[in-house]
Structure 1
Amino acid sequence: MTGGAGGDPPPRADVVAALDAVIDRTLRDAELVHEHPAPGRWLVDLPGSKKLKTVCGLIVGEHALRVEAFVCRQPDENREQLWTYLLQHNARMYGVAYSVDRVGDVYLTGRVPHAAVTPEELDRLLGAVLSYADDHFNTMLEIGFGSSIRREWEWRVKRGESLRNLEAFAAFAQAGRTGPDDGDGAAPAPDGGG
């Protein structure tokens, strides 16, 4: 898949140098934190609001620039529901699509022909990666990790721990509550007492 790996011939050095120059200029102009570990390989930090940071890889291959970003690990539950959610979004997405690896971790992946790699197109693609990773992140967690979120919420409430980093899931976590202190499925008393 990447240039030089899996049987693909490596890209020509002049192609890599030309694309590296475009990528470098684009990332510097956008003031994005990035690493350049090897010719034709870039790691870009995309700051979000729901998913605090998405790391996006840019890899120059023989014919195209590959874009790849990890979104979330394999879901604990509701895999089919999560895959359905992601596939329904793929049809409306620009430049990248949701994909899963062998273990079920979720990525955004795409390929751009060398001739289309311009500062404007890179900016558009990085914006798309950030938008898709960030905008859908909480919903993906609710679908794939809902039971864990609710357990963590309940544990913190019982212990009086901070809920600050779970605030985005308040309505979701509380919607499944059975009662103030019990998890036995009993409904709370009508007067709110327990």
Structure 2
Amino acid sequence: MIEQTLRDSELVHDHPRPGTWLVDLPGSKKLKTVCGLIVGEHSLRVEAFVCRQPDENREQLWTYLLQHNARMYGVAYSVDAVGDIYLTGRLPHAAVTPEELDRVLGAVLSYADDHFNTMLEIGFGTSIRREWEWRVKRGESLRNLEAFTAFVESAQRTGGHPTGADPASGA
């Protein structure tokens, strides 16, 4: 049923071993999210890598993700032992239907894609601003950073910190 649903949905996928499918979910902010569907003894496990561990503001990012978990369907944000961010969930076998599979894959795509740039701004803001400044100084293209224009401009107006707070002062 899983294989047929993926084919009918025309989703690019791989079936590397029995009971496991890797599905490519195309996004707009996060260009591709690979979602694993793993059949277990009692449930279908759903997991997708979203973002590597943040360079900064971990607690702020965790708070942001946990606040979203309360409103999410089928999956939730989680972190592994090194702090990389995933979407994970489980569906009992009886709940796995073509409609439910489509709904859960849609949820994974939405949660990975819709919040991706905000996650990067929170967890990698300093790196984004440095890369932007480096490219501007050298006349390099900003094309793949265009999504962060408002973020960088806000930081420039507030002395380097988009919130206007000075982290050194604890404010």
Alpha-carbon separation, structure 2, partners of 1:89 and 1:116 = 23
The runs of at least 4 aligned residues of structure 1 exceeding 2 Å deviation read none
Alpha-carbon separation, structure 1, partners of 2:41 and 2:4 = 21
User: What is the TM-score of this pair, normalised by structure 1?
Assistant: 0.80
Alpha-carbon separation, structure 2, partners of 1:138 and 1:129 = 15
Structure 2 unaligned residues grouped into runs of 5+: 161-171
Alpha carbons 1:35, 1:44 under 8 Å: kept = yes
Matching residue of 1:187:
none
SS at 1:92 equivalent: coil
Alpha carbons 1:150, 1:174 under 8 Å: kept = no
Which residue of 9, 25, 40 maps to 2:4?
25
Alpha-carbon separation, structure 2, partners of 1:55 and 1:98 = 15
Whose radius of gyration is greater, 1 or 2?
1
SS at 1:177 equivalent: helix
Matched, 1:82 2:64: no
Which residue of 88, 91, 96 maps to 2:75?
96
Query: Quick one: which amino acid aligns to residue 153 of structure 1?
Result: W
Q: Deviations over 1:97-151 (max 9, x none)?
A: 0000000000000000001110000000000000000000000000000000000
SS at 1:94 equivalent: coil
Matching residue of 2:121:
142
Q: CA deviation at 1:81?
A: 0.2
Matching residue of 2:146:
167
Matching residue of 1:69:
48
Structure 1 unaligned residues grouped into runs of 5+: 1-21, 184-194
Alpha-carbon separation, structure 2, partners of 1:93 and 1:33 = 25
Q: CA deviation at 1:177?
A: 2.1
**CA-atom RMSD, angstroms?**
1.2
Which residue of 33, 42, 61 maps to 2:21?
42
Alpha-carbon separation, structure 2, partners of 1:115 and 1:176 = 50
Q: CA deviation at 1:92?
A: 0.2
Query: What's the % identity of the aligned pairs?
Result: 87
Q: CA deviation at 1:175?
A: 1.7
Matching residue of 1:117:
96
SS at 1:51 equivalent: coil
**Residue correspondences, number:** 159
Matched, 1:154 2:133: yes
